[in-house]
Amino acid sequence: MPTRYWIHGLKGANFLQKRLLLGLLRSRRGKIGLSIIAFLLLLSALAPLVIPIKSYFMWNVPDYWINNPKTSAPYWTNILGPKEFEHISLGRNDAKISSESLEGINVVDNNFKINMKSDSFPDDFMFLYSARYSDVPPVLQIDITRPDNNTFTVYYSSLPMTNKANSSFSDRIFSTNNDVKEALNQYQNLFSFPISGFQPQILLFSDSAKPTVLKGEYQISLKFYLFDNSSRVEDAGIILGGRVFGIMGTDDLRRDLLTGIIWGTPIALFIGLTVSVFSIAIGIIYGVVSGYRGRRTDEAMMRINDIFYALPTLPLLILLMVTFGRSIFLIIGFLMIFSWMGTAKVIRSIALQMRNFQYVEAAKLMGQSDLKVIFKHIIPQLLPLTFASVAISVPGAILAEAGLSFLGLGDPSLPTWGQILRDANTADAASRGLWWWIIPPGLMIALTGLAFFLIGNTLDSIANPLRNKKKKA
Amino acid sequence: MGLGRTLLFRSFNMFLVLFSILLITVTLLGPTLDKLLVDAIRNQVIDEVNQGSLKFQNLEERSSYINSQIELRSKTFGLDQDSFTLSKLIHRVVSVMTLDLGNSHYFSTDFGSTSVRDIIFEKVPKTLLLFTTANICVTVIGIFLGTYIAGKEGSWWDKLNSIFAILSNSFPSWWLAMIMILVFAFTLHIFPARATPLSSPSDPNYILDLIYHMTLPLITLIIFSFGTWAYLVRYFLINILNEDFIYAKKTMGISRRKILYSHALRNAGPPIATSVGLGLSGSFGGAIILEAVFDWPGMGKLYYDSIALFDTPIIIGLTFVSTVIFLVTIFITDIAYTLLDPRVKGG
């Protein structure tokens, strides 16, 4: 920031604020920057409405993500290459539920419809259910009706006995289950090729003539036979493990990366803006006090500034984080401590000139205290001039937090972009070619940084008369 | 300020910073350091007993002798008291400065030593090799590209470079590193994804292997920083090209090329030198992480691993060493600035 800022400061803070805003809206760079930030803000505001808030707190809890496929590419990659199977996870809400009474037995049928369009088989499948019953356990029968009108009964078994009355039982039946394998063996004469070597998920969805995918509509029914009135079906669902999932795919821990990316946005904006606003506030106060008091105070304060300037930030941050633990507020606090020095230096040089201005001297002669002069007459004049510096220093803070997260010193409870990239690096995502895990978080960091740079740049060129003159020359 | 005074002033400042870092380290990690120091003393005493001529009747006598020795030496350093004493402070500072931090719990050198000092000194040259090479390349490319662009202000190249510079400032260098691995190691199979050489250090081809493994990190560092560099050089040069003396030289009929490459560049020297310093110190942080991504066997990788395993002696040692490297870099750029600035020479 050049020393000439005060020229505009004198014309009045309000005037400059208006000019900055107008200029920002008029220039192309400013428009691009503003629209990116508007997009990011919208994303942050919509995040709690669109995705479950629980996913934020459960980011590092693997159990929460168990229904997702592992390390799956985004589903739209199907457009480019062969059609991989897209992950399907259906709950009881997606099923057509019907119940009928047969000789005192209550039969509850949960019917799921699946449309197979992919060229490849699912990786695996599982059926999940939960039922509440007393003495007589219900019987579960799973039937799959294929497009060629064959119906396979893949599972037929009673649920385990219980001694407690009205207790709930829930379980998952995996494709690796032996009962499922044996049940499928009954149907070997339907296939014109030997089926012994094939896995259940392939047989179920395979053409009977050759082991390729039989496309079309499948009906999967989870039928419960309930033998008394107190028995109830509480949940039923199916999961077909896919190789593609969602807009951004999943990572090794089955987490939906889109969720992580979205939650990362408000956190990044919060870190960036808090650090830059506060560090620049510290810088202004420090600089004004130093410049206004002058002489020995100035000398001493500038020496301290020099020392801070020369501190190696990252090693010190590492040391501090190792000692004090890893909370997001600590990170923000430490980043503030290490980023006020530049502003302080510039503001000091402006304040050195300002203290000789007539209105400042008049205020002093009227007997106002130094504190009052500084906070009432000097700082308000400087405030609008620092908008540019606030915007320019946001990306630095975001990058610093990402770096710390990457080193394993970030707040472990938060899904930040840096954290996602760290997980990717620990899992060797780059050398395994898992691009969907690496590119989006970095792009988001770059996008945010770019937006603030563009805005800062525009504001700076409006507020800085020196540059404008040069450009015309 | 004359050259001598500047140097004196700068070195004073440097030592002040170094000392304050030491103080911060020592205060923050005091208790941990004390434990490390007692451990170090124990090892030392046991070594002495094993090699010395003292004979003991039985094991108990030996262990009681060792314990009394440890207690005695701890007392001289004030390690037995919880309270703060000057001798304790000095001892801590000295032990950090000499990297006398005992043994690492998890790491060892290629030759099997677990002493913190040996481990760190094994890594430092590799970090210096990578970053000095990268910075020399970036400086040369940046100065020539920047000067070339400054001569064509407002052209396509100029705009492209500005965009490139802004872009490369908004994402982390280690993200670029991951992308480079994705492209050059996974997709194209040109370079290895892991930058740790496979052959052992005693192998005669080790150096070649090291250079081959260094290529990808080096290219990444260069791609990441040359745009910013060229942009800075261009910025300073354009400011100078608008000065009166350049117009005077133009009217004298000196060729545009000569003005640009010799007169303008010479005058832009001092601010360029300053930004070299700032750039170096700025890239240092990202570079630590970049090493971890590439698995380059330098300080950054060690940092990354020691944080993951919480190996405090290594972290303390690395903090001190990187501070020294950082300060020396700034000091050298300051000297360069002073030497390049014509006003200082005249004074």
Which ipTM value was assigned to this complex?
0.80
Residue B207 lies in a domain: yes
Contact (CB, 8 A) for A458 and A21: no
| In a shared domain, residues B74 and B189 | no
B170/A451 Cα distance (integer angstroms): 9
Lowest-pLDDT choice from A4-13, A259-268, B87-96, B322-331: A4-13
Query: Tell me, what amino acid is at A7?
Result: I
SS3 B297: coil
Query: Is position B303 within any domain?
Result: yes
Read off the pLDDT band of A42 (50, 70, 90). very high
What separation in angstroms does the CA of A284 have from each of A342, A377, A386, B297?
Answer: 10, 13, 9, 42
Q: pTM for this structure? A: 0.82
Numbered ranges of CATH 2.60.120 in chain A:
85-241
Q: Which fold has domain A85-241?
A: Jelly Rolls (2.60.120)
- Contact of B330 with chain A, judged by CB distance below 8 Å, is answered with yes
| Same-domain status, B39 and B129 | no
Chain B contacts in chain A segment 283-312 (CB below 8 A): 306-307, 310-312
What pLDDT does B343 receive? 62
Q: Do A316 and B24 count as a contact with CB atoms less than 8 A apart? A: yes
Give the B window 281-320 contacts with A, CB below 8 Å: 281, 284-286, 288-289, 292-293, 303-304, 307-308, 310, 312, 315-316, 318-319
Q: Which among B97, B124, B156 is the end of a domain? A: B97
A77-106 pLDDT, tens digit per residue, is: 888 777 888 888 888 888 888 888 888 788
Q: Tell me the per-residue pLDDT of B32-82, one tens digit each, with 9 for 90 and over.
A: 666 767 777 777 777 777 776 677 777 777 778 878 887 777 777 666 666
- Contact predicate B149/B229, CB 8 Å: no
* B227 within a domain of the structure (yes/no): yes
Which residues are CB-neighbours of A181 under 8 A, at least 6 positions away?
A200
Identify whether residues B271 and B174 lie together within a single domain: yes
Q: Is residue B2 part of a domain?
A: no
Contact B28 A323 (CB under 8 A): yes
pLDDT > 70 in chain A, percent:
94
Long-range contacts of A9-12 (CB under 8 A, 24+ apart): A9/A381, A9/A382, A9/A384, A9/A385, A10/A381
B137, part of any domain:
yes
Question: Is the same domain home to B224 and B309?
Answer: yes
Q: Does B174 touch chain A (CB under 8 A)?
A: yes
In this structure, is residue B59 part of a structural domain? Answer: yes
Determine, for residues A407 and B292 on separate chains, whether the beta-carbon distance falls below 8 Å.
Answer: yes
Q: Which stretch of A19-23, A115-119, A329-333, B153-157 has the lowest confidence by average pLDDT?
A: A19-23
Residues B256 and B210 in one domain: yes
**Whether residue B161 is found in the same domain as residue B299:** yes
**Where in chain A do CATH 1.10.3720.10 domains reside?**
2-59+256-472
Domain coverage including residue B35 = 17-97
Q: Specify if B231 maps to a domain.
A: yes
B139 found inside a domain: yes
B130 plus B72 within the same structural domain: no
Q: How distant is the Cα of A76 from the closest Cα of chain B, in angstroms?
A: 20
Same-domain status, B213 and B135: yes
Q: What is the pLDDT of residue A30?
A: 86
Tokens representing residue A380 in the block: 């308000």
Closest CA to B123 of B299, B311, B306, B304: B299
DSSP label at A77?
G
Q: What are the tokens at A450?
A: 């770019």
- CA-nearest of B176, B131, B160 to B279 is B131
Give the pair of three-digit tokens for residue B25. Answer: 């380290």
Q: Which of B29, B127, B178, B306 to mutate to test the interface with A (most CBs of A within 10 A)?
A: B178
Q: Which of B67, B97, B127 is the last residue of a domain?
A: B97
CATH number for the domain that contains residue B232? 1.10.3720.10
Task: Tell which of B50, B70, B97 closes a domain.
Answer: B97
Question: In terms of CATH architecture, what is A2-59+256-472?
Answer: Orthogonal Bundle (1.10)
Q: Which residues of chain B have pLDDT under 50?
A: 345-347
Q: Do residues B121 and B210 both lie within one domain?
A: yes
Alpha helices, DSSP H, located in B82-205: 86-97, 116-150, 156-170, 173-180
For chain B, the domain total comes to 2
CA distance B22 to B5: 26
Long-range contacts of B148-153 (CB under 8 A, 24+ apart): B149/B230, B149/B234, B150/B233, B150/B234, B150/B237, B150/B238, B150/B241, B150/B260, B150/B264, B151/B256, B151/B257, B151/B260, B153/B234, B153/B238
